[in-house]
Structure 1
């Protein structure tokens, strides 16, 4: 057990042991082993306990990171869990999938010269231990308050709001069009980053706490938004963004060119034991194929690493900027490189070549970085005469996600949207133009991180509770 903090001058950074690349390529298990108690305590003791904790400042949830690091260093794990859970609905998820290198760890004050504290790995250790010890409890209220809230979307934002509202005594009903709870945590993120048992454990805990889930329910088809508004005292829209961005290129109609989410969902469903015809037919299975993934974000990294595990003959990632400008986590890029993925930097797709109606190659153009634009980011420009082709039996487009047309889907034109298609809300109250209908997560901010979804869900829960209880108080006063 660590005797004191500020041990970064004595102890070097140590991450949990990572399984070898050859082992990782063979299965979809998580790639990192867990800290043992001694290592977790030692690594937590490296925290400098600085006066202005930039790790906490740069965490979207403002997690009390120095506090639970100190408690872990002292061996007070149950208290560490209580502190972590006070600000985070899913600390076991964030410890696994957050890009700590861009958030908390990337802003650790000892990073320059001593390497950051391994915040994410310690967080995962704390919460996994909490689950094993039975410290994680269902969100059970001390008393019911008699009001109900309907939540549309069982992803990070919707679930975070559900947990907060349930603890405050609301009857909470969560509606989702899919057959499992978790949103992209269950179907979008591969198991080698987030094993599905982790998500499903929370699902069962939430059910045990009295949160009611209505799965396979599509708003606008199975029930109207208007009907839900009549059924509940408030509504929270947390649908996420699922519309794949596309690029119009010659040959895009060929078979074998698929969107990233369809590919990842098929893989995750197959791993969960579902029958997936598109996977079984080989259409969404990379086994034996030459795979090219177009894009440079975390979704692209999920796709290339999934293809490796499915037994692809080769896996290449085509990205129009250089490595330093990758929008995804550098940690994920390193993992992909270790597992055999080849990156074609400064390369943009120009079209697809086919044979007998199926893709056989991606045509690409080499790019170079030009002058910065108004955002300060360097523009990319094609190099004349630099075209080349890359063999591809399966081309996966991982170009990001846009919102679906919710006003049309829900048959509710009073829902207004921004020029990006996201829902327009009052950012102080998180309410849409429909009274009593709130929104948060990706459907408001655009495609973002799990941790931002959690933040929005928790914030929305506070606004919803204030709205419902204040409205009830006014009604009572008028009687």
Structure 2
């Protein structure tokens, strides 16, 4: 009787890939986890219980067929594992690195609920696809026939790139317009290299170009080109701009120099550290934490990226202010642990009341908070503790309070592009269809600030709708 290759979670313990020592990794921007060795990847994949109702799959926004590719990995059929993984996920090696698995697939693993420790799904997913790249199994789009229809995609982030890939595989002509000098959006400039090395993103962009996707960089819609110009050149347009407008802070001294936006700070760091670009605001110290007391305000994943970046830039001290406690923070607990290991200090239940220093910030006036009654979402509401203020020294303050949508109808001068009261584009659920004929919207510009994996899901779903619409129009024209 053949030996059972799976269900080894009872005899085999959960084991993550080796993590570099904090005192070493906090000095560079390389990824912090090593790659699994082949035998270790097989071993960890074999811990999957192959349960009848795979909660890992149902809690994945892409509904990846996780049990099947774990089984294929455990039995050494890696190329098939990659093909199953790629069938539902355009960028599995990226999701394997940056998805908050502790809140999605791994957090809902059945054996985790039974106390045996979750299967290391994200690390195996990364291993499968990195191996596929090394073996040459990852191929650019090569459609069996070319279609005459053309689609313009505004935004080269994960949603736009996922849509571009799916459209080209269907033979559609694709042009991607993006405001930055490199494609990838937040994957390129918003996420630090220690979580996602930039070569991983750039090779996907190159693959898309090899498959026939055309990129127009440094294109700021409403300035470089009008929305109407883009729309006139294509049979359909996908708006995939993401949300880039930073939420702001008020209070005395909020306009002082040294108080910066998270995205500006991360973009400057990524350009300098990962691409070797010369960035004036980094070189003159405006967006450089070296030798400074740094305070980051916020508790999400962007705040975690900022504090860990500041450590690597050589900050004298790095503190993170968050108005709720550790349990209630929105960021990944795994990221908090990594940050603490690297030297970040978290000040829970604190919020800024203002800033000292006049023209140049020298301190944050901090208010202590406590958790009161639940709000409408069920989370306990932070309440101010009167008389608890203190000053926290700060030479650089990074605002990581989340992002809001830009006012696209106004910026682009577009009539009929409906938006919600939050400023997000109104689009049909799953299809991305908007009130404008032939115009679709996906990702954060529809959802609000969300996860990369949801943007990929939206891009793939939207392409299915576009192809349906193209086929319906072709059928009517043929009658």
1:147-296 correspondence to structure 2 within 5 Å:
147-271=149-273, 272-296=275-299
* Farther-moved stretch of structure 1 (214-223 vs 65-74): 214-223
Per-residue deviation at 1:224?
1.6
1:81-96 correspondence to structure 2 within 5 Å:
81-96=82-97
1:439 aligned residue = 441
Contact 1:2 1:42 in 2 (8 A): no
Q: Distance in 2 between matches of 1:230 and 1:455?
A: 27
Q: Secondary structure at the match of 1:114?
A: coil
1:177-218 deviation line (CA, Å, top 9, x unaligned): 111010000000000000000000001100000011111111
1:6-405 correspondence to structure 2 within 5 Å:
6-112=7-113, 113-271=115-273, 272-355=275-358, 357-405=359-407
1:424 aligned residue = 426
TM-score calculated relative to the size of structure 2: 0.98
Q: Secondary structure at the match of 1:303?
A: helix
1:401-412 correspondence to structure 2 within 5 Å:
401-412=403-414
Q: Secondary structure at the match of 1:96?
A: helix
TM-score calculated relative to the size of structure 1: 0.98
1:434-467 deviation line (CA, Å, top 9, x unaligned): 1000001000000001000000000011111111
Per-residue deviation at 1:469?
2.0
1:88-123 deviation line (CA, Å, top 9, x unaligned): 000010000000000000000011310100000000
Q: Give the unaligned 5+ runs of structure 1.
A: none
Q: Distance in 2 between matches of 1:249 and 1:451?
A: 36
2:475 aligned residue = 473
Q: Give the unaligned 5+ runs of structure 2.
A: none
Q: Distance in 2 between matches of 1:458 and 1:28?
A: 31
Contact 2:430 2:461 in 1 (8 A): no
What is the aligned residue count? 476
Per-residue deviation at 1:374?
2.1
Contact 1:88 1:454 in 2 (8 A): yes
Q: Distance in 1 between matches of 2:230 and 2:303?
A: 36
Q: Distance in 2 between matches of 1:228 and 1:188?
A: 26
Q: Secondary structure at the match of 1:135?
A: coil
Q: Distance in 2 between matches of 1:302 and 1:455?
A: 24
Q: Which runs of 4+ in 1 moved over 6 A?
A: none
Per-residue deviation at 1:419?
0.4
Q: Secondary structure at the match of 2:385?
A: strand
Q: Distance in 2 between matches of 1:138 and 1:327?
A: 36
Q: Secondary structure at the match of 1:375?
A: coil
Per-residue deviation at 1:249?
1.4
Contact 1:3 1:74 in 2 (8 A): no
Q: Distance in 2 between matches of 1:374 and 1:27?
A: 42
Aligned Cα RMSD in Å?
A: 1.1
Q: Distance in 2 between matches of 1:60 and 1:451?
A: 7
* Farther-moved stretch of structure 1 (300-309 vs 407-416): 407-416
Q: Distance in 1 between matches of 2:431 and 2:400?
A: 33
